[in-house]
Amino acid sequence: MCVVVHGLGGIGKTALTREFVRDAVDADLARQVVAVDGEATVDGILSAVARVVGAHLPEVARGLEDVGIRWQDRLELLRMTDLGNDPILLVLDRFEDIGLPR
């Protein structure tokens, strides 16, 4: 599932997204929530996932943070865990700030 909330600054996108996250967790559509604010890189996203799973799976978290490993292999490491079957909701706030190439 992909949901995009887009609009002018200050109209309540973040507040709406918080409400959506609460509802998704309550409906068991997401068991883990990973939030990234601002610039979203692959390494930054995997690092955010590592912070969420680190308490339960510290070895997996260390692997996710290891930038010496290709990001595809780090993602596969996550898929091989019990969490690989759990829905993870990724929230990219201020996504417009990432400066996509034109």
Q: Is residue 34 part of a domain?
A: no
**What confidence tens digit (pLDDT) does each residue in 1-27 have?**
677 888 888 899 889 999 999 999 999
Rounded CA Rg of the chain: 15
Q: Which of 10, 12, 1 is nearest to 90 (CA)?
A: 1
Residue 40 near residue 94 (C-beta atoms within 8 A)? no
The answer to whether residue 50 sits within a structural domain is yes
| Inter-residue contact 38 to 93 (CB < 8 Å) | yes
Distance, CA of 11 to CA of 3 (rounded, Å): 17
Structural domain harbouring 64: 41-102
Q: Coil, helix or strand for 16?
A: helix
Count of domains forming the chain: 1
**Which residues of the chain fall below pLDDT 50?**
100-102
27 in a domain, yes or no? no
- The answer as to whether 57 is a domain residue is yes
- What's the pTM value of the predicted model, to 2 decimals? 0.74
